[in-house]
Amino acid sequence: MGMQPQNQEAKLHAAIANQRMKNYPGAIALFQTAISLDPGNPLLYKRMGECYRDMGDMISARAAFQKYLQMEPDASDKAEIERYL
């Protein structure tokens, strides 16, 4: 990320690493930056929703999951995501 600060893929991988380490605020910040670089990537909204959900912020999780399903109406995990709406 240091060499290419505008690289959306680097932000995504760093965000996923933070999510796995349960550093949800850090992951969310990185997902938000990645979204600003690539707003058309539905995976970013899904992963950010998962972070919010795991933090217990269901209002923000719901908003992120709604955006994900809006962008991916035929997602294979639609039924699972709809449980949080």
Range 60-70 burial, b when 16+ CB lie within 10 A, else e: bbebbbbbbbe
Per-residue pLDDT of the chain (85 residues; tens, 9 = 90+): 555 667 889 999 999 999 999 999 999 999 999 999 999 999 999 999 999 999 999 999 999 999 999 999 999 999 999 999 9
pLDDT at residue 40 in the model: 95
State the pLDDT at residue 15. Answer: 96
- The whole-number pLDDT of residue 45 equals 98
